[in-house]
Amino acid sequence: MKLKPLGGEIWTKPFKVLLLLAVIAGIFIIRRFIFGLGAVTHLNDGYPWGMWIVYDVVTGTAIACGGYAMAILVYIFNRGKYHPLVRSALLASLFGYTLAGVSIVLDVGRYWQLHNVFMPGYYNPHSVMFEVASCIALYIFVMWVEFSPAFAEQMKREKLHNFLNKIMFIFLGLGVLLPTMHQSSLGSLIIVAGEKLSPLFQTMWIPLLFLITAILMGYSMVIVESILSSVGFKRPIESNILARLSRLIPFLLVIFLIIRFADIIIRGEIGLMFSFNLASIMFIIETILFLIPMVILFSEKNRGRSQMLFISAVLMILAGALYRFDVFIVVFNPGHGYHYFPAFQEIMITVGIIAMEIMGYLIFVKRLPVFPEVKHA
């Protein structure tokens, strides 16, 4: 299998739109640094974590689990047939995580002391945040190393390429270990909030639930991204591989739903599901969103149809994203009359960051060997 740059114009119309969104975000980011977080966000003492943490970091990195999910399949379970999807999935993850890192710098109030998280004398290994921060920071580095053979290939540095290949197993190992650790810990972050979260959501099993949904969102994103690039770059859809890949989704979903419901039932809180307050309604909506892709993808016929694949993958991502938003914002209730809905500028900064991710992706796939060569018959 040979990978090749797609080539083509970078300075396209969609690219200009993305750039405009990024520039708008840039202006608001400057405002944030001059006037403080309150000038561009609706964050408050009750809802200290909003759009940026919950979308850009908690949800964004889960969506960016494609690279991780594919690495598990290809390098750990040795399913070589999925190899054509690996590098493009990794690339999307690379930008997803890198910009999540950028969002953290925007979000923390005292960014000039952010390094204290890792400094001897300051770091606090008791904090879940310590683990999340260390693993994400290290994983961003690991992913750039995992992607580096693309640069070596493009610049025809064979020696460097061979060297990278020799040591790559270390980074592949880390590339699976680190997301396993921090994607689960992103869920553990909320355990300390205790009573602020409804017992339907607050559970000691939340790290496992977050990990499974992150892997599910990763596979779904690989499907979405693969179909979108096929359409966008006018390449044949890898429908065979995608159909096989999507078999995993309903099985993982069943495991997820069994753990989630068994835990709630064993804790004796299942009655809360029918109290029809905010927590209960969001829980029901989530469950339905998780069930639809599960039902669709159990059918082999559906798995063979790109449209069905695409719809169920999108629904799966939405379900996982809603789960995260519910836990950290919608169902999270700090009491004392606090409310939160993201401000316009806050949303636009997130939009701009997503635009930057897509721009980076577009430049890289056009100029670096990411996608497999299409063999014309």
Partner 1 sequence: MNIERRDFFKILSIGALTAAGSKSVQARDWQYTGRPPKAPALLYDSTLCIGCKACEVGCKKANGLDLDHSDLEKTFGVSNTWDCADDLDTNSWLKIKLYKNGDASVKDRETDGFAFMRSACMHCVEPDCQSVCPTSALLKDPETGIVSWDVDACCGCRYCQVACPFAIPKFEYEKAFPKIEKCFLCEHRLAEGQITGCSEACPTGATLFGEYETILAEAKRRLAVKEGDTYDYPVHTLESGVTKPRPAAKYINHVYGEKDGGGTQYIVLSAVPFSKLGLPKLPEHSSSSKSEALQHGLYQGLIAPIVLFGGLAAAAFRNVRQEEKEERRAQDEA
Contact residues: partner 1, CB under 8 A: 33-39, 41, 43-46, 48-49, 74-76, 78, 80, 83, 107-111, 113-114, 116-117, 119-131, 133, 165, 168-170, 172-174, 176-177, 180-181, 185, 188-196, 204, 207, 334-336, 338
H-run or E-run covering 371: strand 371-372
**Residue whose CB is less far from partner 1, 9 or 195:** 195
Residue appearing with tokens 């202006």: 27
CB of 259 to partner 1, least distance (A): 16
How far is it, in rounded angstroms, from Cα 290 to Cα 283? 11
Q: What's the Cα-to-Cα distance from 100 to each of 24, 76, 93, 350, rounded to whole Å? A: 18, 26, 10, 10
Shortest spacing between CB 165 and partner 1, in angstroms: 7
Give the nearer residue to partner 1 in terms of CB position, either 3 or 316.
3
Which segments of the chain does DSSP mark as H helices, in order? 13-35, 37-40, 51, 60-63, 66-71, 83-107, 128-154, 158-188, 206-232, 239-246, 248-266, 278-298, 300-303, 306-325, 344-367
Least gap, CB of 168 to partner 1 (angstroms): 6
- The residue (of 272 and 362) whose beta carbon lies closer to partner 1 is 272
Tell me how far CA of residue 143 lies from CA of 138, 159, 289, in angstroms. Answer: 9, 20, 31
- Per the CB < 8 A criterion, the answer to whether 264 and 200 are in contact is yes
- From the list 2, 13, 18, 54, the residue with the least C-alpha distance to 360 is 18
Cα distances from 48 to residues 223, 277, 338, in angstroms, run 34, 23, 10
Smallest distance from partner 1 to CB 187, Å: 10
Minimum CB distance to partner 1 smaller for 116 or for 240: 116
Q: Which residue has the tokens 């909030």?
A: 193
Shortest separation between residue 12's beta carbon and partner 1, angstroms: 35
CB of 240 to partner 1, least distance (A): 20
Q: How far is the CB of 41 from partner 1 (least distance, A)?
A: 8
Q: How many CB atoms lie within 10 A of CB 45?
A: 8
The least CB distance from residue 336 to partner 1, in Å, is 5
d(CA 350, CA 55): 8
Closest to partner 1 by CB, 189 vs 370, is 189
Nearer to partner 1, 203 or 312 (CB): 203
Residue 222 and residue 245 in contact, taking contact as beta carbons nearer than 8 Å: yes
